[in-house]
Amino acid sequence: MTDKLTPQMRIILATVLSFLFFALYDHFFIPKNPPIETTSLEQNATPTTTTSAPADVKSASSVDIAGAPTSPSKLGETIATIKAAGYEVQIDRLGRIAKFYLEEGKYKDDNGGRFQLIDASQALLPLEIRFSDKAVNEDAFVMSYSADKDTVDVNENGGSIVLTQTLSNVVVTKTITFFPSGRYDLHVKLSTPKEYFISPGFRPSLAVDSYTFHGALIKKADGSIKTIDDGSAKGDEHFANAKIVAGADKYYTTFFYELDKGLESVVSVGKDKDPLLFVKGNDDFKLSGYIGPKEHVKLHAINPELTDVIEYGFFTFISKPLFSLLAFLHGIFGNWGWAIVGMTIIVRLVLYPLTYKGMVSMNKLKELAPKVKELQKKYGDDKQKLNTHMMELYKKNGANPMGGCLPILLQIPVFFAVYRVLQNAIELKGAEWILWVNDLAIKDPYFILPILMGITMFLHQRITPTTFTDPMQEKIMKFLPLIFTFFFVTFPAGLTLYWFTNNLASIVQQFYVNKLFAKKHEEPKVEK
């Protein structure tokens, strides 16, 4: 063994640095609420694009989606307003959802203003229709729709509006029924068959960070999920019989769904290679849609399959069960903060065999540290002999220098899964814990949790056996609690609460393991 980092320390530092990279890049380099593009649709219009299907989709044929030659005078002109308890919708003269506001109290900005998920200046609006025939398409972006009523109040049974557009050779009728949950049913009828494509709209742009998914999400016919991040659209992707076609950011989404027959969907290329979603319609076309927050309970109530739009990245298969556990505990405690505490403790108990094994290994290595130093002094110039004698020493005493690494490695996916759950769960927005913590989705206003987290991290470090052979390594590790405290000052309180609770559990477990080893050393003395 040389004076370089031990295997255990390499794993620990790799975990710490990975966490810091993701977290710091997110919090310090990516704007949380970037302004919605103000470029007009005329500038953002997608040119006539031929989107061919992949070779493995035999049923797909190439399609032509005409551009959107929208007149700037049409932007922002409202012909109807739909009001529900939780949201407000404004329909523009082109029969699209031009504005969508959330009305619930927790969806307010710092000035008390409503959150706006859809804005008329976005590249693509929900319910926008584009015809393959260029002449018909140009006509469609000139002629205004008429509405059968100016305002619609949405009650428990829903509220409907009929929009009609008369073109030179076809009449388009959209019947939309809105429901309190944010769901809506759409029925499009054409007087004459024409090939067209309709969009669920461009993703909301309120909560975009560096690594949480934002872009297009398609639940394919086989139930698998395909995601296309902003900036990575290829423009040649076709999905036959897709169940869900969604645009989403971290917290919010707009999507179409048809869970039985599916939807023939096409992904076109927008500005900066952002994915633009379209669904191929027909002269008598029905589907359902949703606009709003990615709240698990709300989506599950509409249909359990719709919760698939809540995407956690690579560790989704771990994150989803963890969120289910978190939601279950919230049902018991009635408080998301205590639910986080409960989830953390349960995760620690499940991982106990792994963490216990790692702690035991570190204690054994600490016991052998003096003998390791002797070997280093004796064979310091001969690395081969040093390693040979060290392996013999470990084997003789039943110690494994890698024994503390595997348990840590196996816990890394769980750690990142928990991190993603707490970062993505919109349920934590506006959720109180105790006393001073009034919103688990934002930083602790008085920095109490970050400080407690740093103190418990320091205490855990003090009682954890180490095998440092280099004083510099030891100094670096001693500074980690201070570094973490500094960075956690800006992190969401829910995430900091998790880390603080996890530290407390680690301290209890470490005390227990240390006590077992102390008792083991006392037994021979008693026998004598």
Q: Report the pLDDT value the prediction gives residue 374, as an integer from 0 to 100.
A: 74
Span of 15-29, 135-149, 266-280, 505-519 with lowest mean pLDDT = 15-29
Q: Report the pLDDT value the prediction gives residue 16, as an integer from 0 to 100.
A: 57
In which residue are the tokens 């024409």 written?
Answer: 194
pLDDT digits (tens, 9 = 90+) for 90-127: 999 999 999 999 998 888 877 778 889 988 777 799 99
Say how many residues make up the chain: 528
Three-state SS string over 121-177 comes to CCCCCCCCEEECCHHHHHHHCCCCCEECCCEEECECCEEEEEEEEECCCCEEEEEEE
The CB density around residue 318, as the number of other CB atoms within 10 Å, is 18
Which sign, positive or negative, has the C-alpha torsion 44, 94, 50, 260? positive
* Domains in the chain: boundaries: 78-311, 323-522
Confidence of residue 55 (pLDDT cuts 50, 70, 90): very low
pLDDT digits (tens, 9 = 90+) for 399-416: 666 655 656 666 678 778
**Span 330-337, mean pLDDT?**
93
Q: Report the pLDDT value the prediction gives residue 485, as an integer from 0 to 100.
A: 84
| DSSP symbols for 221-276 | TTS-EEEEETT---S-EEEEEESEEEEE-SSEEEEEE-SSS-EEEEEEE-GGG-EE
Alpha-carbon separation of residue 147 from 56, 84, 281 (angstroms):
43, 18, 21
Which sign, positive or negative, has the C-alpha torsion 197, 216, 123, 274? negative
Confidence of residue 294 (pLDDT cuts 50, 70, 90): very high
Confidence of residue 51 (pLDDT cuts 50, 70, 90): very low
Q: Which residues are within 8 A (CB) of 464 and not within 5 positions of it... i.e. 6 or more apart? A: 359, 362, 510
Looking at CATH, the fold of the domain delimited by 78-311 is given as: Beta-galactosidase; Chain A, domain 5 (2.70.98)
**Span 371-399, mean pLDDT?**
72
Residue 39 has pLDDT above 70, yes or no: no
The whole-angstrom separation of Cα 20 and Cα 14 is 10
**What's the pTM?**
0.78
Span of 23-32, 172-181, 389-398, 464-473 with lowest mean pLDDT = 23-32
Average pLDDT, the chain: 79
User: Are 46 and 270 contacting, i.e. CB atoms less than 8 angstroms apart?
Assistant: yes
Rounded (10°) CA dihedral 334, 337, 338, 339: 70
Confidence of residue 520 (pLDDT cuts 50, 70, 90): low
Please tell me the number of Cα atoms within 13 Å of 176 on its side-chain side: 30
Stronger pLDDT, 302 or 64, i.e. the higher one = 302
Confidence of residue 145 (pLDDT cuts 50, 70, 90): very high
The whole-angstrom separation of Cα 203 and Cα 183 is 16
The three-point CA angle 53-200-239 to 5° equals 20
Q: Report the pLDDT value the prediction gives residue 207, as an integer from 0 to 100.
A: 66
Q: Which residues are within 8 A (CB) of 505 and not within 5 positions of it... i.e. 6 or more apart? A: 344, 345, 348
Name the token pair of 397.
Answer: 């005493």
Residue 527 has pLDDT above 90, yes or no: no
Helices and strands (H and E) in the chain: how many:
12, 21
Stronger pLDDT, 341 or 518, i.e. the higher one = 341
Residue 14 has pLDDT above 80, yes or no: no
The whole-angstrom separation of Cα 126 and Cα 96 is 6
Q: Report the pLDDT value the prediction gives residue 470, as an integer from 0 to 100.
A: 57
Of 488, 486, 480, 490, residue with least CA distance to 458 = 480
Name the token pair of 303.
Answer: 């249909």
